[in-house]
Each structure stands twice: as C-alpha cells, then as structure tokens.
Structure 1
Amino acid sequence: MDNVIGQIDRALDATSVIVAALDEGSMAAPTPCREWDVRTVLNHMVGGMHIYAAALSGTDSGADHESDWLGGDPQGAYAAAAEVDRAAWHRPDALDYTIHISLGALPAAAAALVHLTELVVHGVDLAVAIDRPDLADDELCGELLATMQARGGIDKFRGPGVFDAEVPVEVGEPAHRRLLGYVGREVLARTP
C-alpha cells in the first residue's frame, strides 16, 4: 500500500506543475469534466484534499467540499492543501482508518485509491483545459489505468456525478487520453 501513497505524492507534484501554469484568464475555461470550468475543478480538488486530510487526522475540515477553498489565490490554496494532504497520508497510522466519503465508508487503503484517481484525473482535466496536455504525467496515468482495470474496472461507479460511460480511445493514444476515455471524458477521447 505504500505504493499508492507514493503515487499520491507523485500526483500532488504533477498537478502542482499544472496548477502553476494556470492564470486568471484560464479559470473560466471549460474542462472535460462536464459543466465544470477550471476554477470549479481546482476548487473541488483543493476541498477534497482538505477533507481527506481532516478525515485521516480526526479533525474537521472547516468547510463543505464545494465551499470556496481558493479565495483569491488558487495556486497558494493548492500548495497549502497539497502540503496538508501529503502530511496526512504520511501519518504512520493513515491506512488504519475508515474514511467516510461520498461513495460511503471505505477502508483508508481503498479511499487512497479513490483519492489518487481524483488527483490524477482532475489534474489531467486541468491540463487539457488549458491546452497543456504535455504537463500530464503519462506514466502515472498509465499506472492508474492499469490498476483500475486490474481491480475489475469502475463499472459499478458509472453514473451521474461519478464516471460516465467509457469512451473508446485509440490504443496508441497517450496514457492520459486513454485514462480519461476510460472514465468517460468524451472531450479527450478524440485525437486532435
């Protein structure tokens, strides 16, 4: 399970590079995550990091998931949330908890995989939205896709608000496109 914690670290680092490339003009850009613009996706990620960290440390996050976590400094908000999130997952007892999330009560090991999925997929949503797919960590995307498929897939989570139906993507496409097609991101399933 240390592998998933290492992957969370990598996802936090990779997404920080994408977040650093955002500017005020890109905040309203549409993303492959239907009906969410860049600011909404980033806010969702930052809120999620705080909520997971609070659950792992037995504290209150202080706000709801979709509250305004970004304020006037989206990059600073992401950096602060990433620091808190990373510290929480590196607690020696982090994987001993049951985490309560929107999907229900999950053992922390399973919740870690859900969190990794959110970080990687939403990070790529942001990269594509600002036309910087080159910032996506294709190695990590490929690892996550292989893990999801090896665990029997995500079909039980397909539906509104979680994952849409899989969108076919050419085998030769980069891993980030194949991952997003797998989770139903239609925008990324087409070769430009």
Structure 2
Amino acid sequence: MTNTISDLLESAAQRAVPVVLGITDERLADPTPCSEYDVRALTDHLIQVVINFQALAAKKNADFAAVPHYIDDDAGDWRARFADETARLVAAWAAPGAEEGTSGTMGFPARTVGHMVLGDLTVHAWDLARATGQEFTPDPAVVGEIGPALAEMAPMGRKGGMFGEPFPLPDDEGVSDFDRVLALTGRDPHWRPPA
C-alpha cells in the first residue's frame, strides 16, 4: 500500500517540530550544513516552504521569490508558528484531490510536489538539528519515500541550485539510507559545526 503524502508529512512533522522548538535565540547566527544559510535564514526558509506548499497542495500558486523574515518580522512566536503551519501543511495534503493532477505554476505532478516538501521538511530538520546540537532521527518510511524521489529530482535540483554536487560516500554497509539521501543533496552526513 502506498503511503499518502499527508501521512508521511505528519510523521516528518513529528520529528521536525521539536527541532525548531529547540532552537534557542543564541544559536540563530550559527552556521548550518547549507553553507548559504545560518540557522536564522534556514529556519525562515523552512517556514516559507511549509506555508507555500500548503498553497501548492490546494493547486494555488506559491511565491518563493520573497526573502522570508518570519523570525525578525513576526510579532508572535515563530517557533509556535512553525508548529501551527506544519499542522496546516499536513491538513492541506490530506484534503481530497491534493495528490491528484498538477500543483500550481510548477506544473509537476502533485505527488512529486508532495515529495519535494517532504524532502525539505526532513532534510532541513536534520540541517537545523545538526547545526544546533540536537538529535534527529527521520522516520524510515519517510526516508524510503524520499530516497528514490529525490534521486529522480536530483539533476533538475542541481541545475536549479537546490542541490549541491553529490557528497562522496564509501560503498559499505555502514552507510545508512538517510546518509545516502543527505549525500545525494550535496551534504556531508557527518557534518558538525566548526569548533
């Protein structure tokens, strides 16, 4: 039986939300495995992703051009907002027809778009956890879903600057499926913040 995007997102959210809730203000300027983002910018980006992919689930257009500033500009609690928006994301992808047809101006099959946000939520949660010294273990079912999907998207992702060049991994049994996902996106699975 195929897992629904909403079920997979719910599982991914259960692991991502505690990471964002665990980010302290003192860590916002720290580097992340995404060299172009510090913790603040990556968290802002992830909130933007979660909001925009709600619209894409509803076959509406999304705006990724604006530089997000949820942490600095939002008068409310950005951590709680992330939790709330992630719950809305799960609900949006559970709506009837969310996985059918194409999504927004992207013009991709809806399930492919669902895989994109599932990958972002999982990989960026790892980025933020690693950057802020938190533990993160993804759901194996999510990893099993995003591994082949991201491998298929990788050439387009690299061309668009969303993925780096693959990080080289040894061919041995000690490499996990999630390590392979991270390496596929250009990340070193053993990345640690600079001392």
TM-score by length of 1: 0.81
Q: Which residue of 2 aligns with 1:36?
A: 37
The Cα offsets for residues 142-185 of structure 1, whole Å up to 9 and x where unpaired, read as 42454337x64623322452111111124414444332112101
Per-residue deviation, 1:29: 1.1
1:147–1:140 Cα change, 3 Å: same
Query: Which letter does structure 2 place at the counterpart of 1:106?
Result: F
Q: Distance in 1 between matches of 2:46 and 2:133?
A: 19
Q: 1:162 matched to which residue of 2?
A: 162
Stretch of structure 1 that moved more, 106-115 or 161-170: 161-170
Paired residues of 1:168 and 1:181 also in contact (CA < 8 A): yes
> For structure 1, which runs of at least 5 residues remain unmatched after alignment?
none
Give secondary structure in 2 for the equivalent of 1:154. helix
Aligned residues: 187
Give the counterpart of 1:182 among 160, 181, 184. Answer: 184
Counterpart for residue 91 of structure 1: 95
Deviations 1:112-158 (A, max 9, x none): 011111111111111111122x3232625642454337x64623322
| Residue of structure 1 in register with 2:6 after alignment | 5
Which amino acid in the other structure matches residue 123 of structure 1? A
Q: What is the one-letter code of the residue matched to 1:98?
A: T
1:66 counterpart SS class: coil
Q: Matched residues in 1 for 2:182 and 2:39: separation?
A: 16
Q: Per the alignment, do residues 63 and 31 of structure 1 end up closer, same or farther by CA in structure 2, a change over 3 Å counting?
A: closer
Residues 2 and 32 of structure 1, relative CA distance in 2, 3 Å threshold:
same
Which amino acid in the other structure matches residue 51 of structure 2?
H
Deviations 1:34-93 (A, max 9, x none): 210111111111111111112333567799653223325221121121121111011012
Shift in alpha-carbon separation, 1:98–1:189, aligned structure 2, 3 A: same
Q: Identify the residue that residue 26 of structure 1 maps to in structure 2.
A: 27
State the match for 2:109 in structure 1: 107
| Higher RCO (Cα < 8 Å, 6 or more apart) | 2
Please give the alpha-carbon distance, in whole angstroms, between the structure 1 residues aligned to 2:139 and 2:132.
17
Structure 1 residues 175 and 19: CA distance shift in structure 2, 3 A: farther
Identity rate, percent = 23
Structure 2 residue runs of 5 or longer lacking an equivalent are: none
Instruction: Decide whether aligned partners of structure 1 residues 58 and 164 sit closer, same or farther in structure 2, where only a CA change above 3 A counts.
Output: closer
> Is the alpha carbon distance of 1:28 and 1:86 closer, same or farther for their aligned partners in structure 2, counting shifts above 3 Å?
same
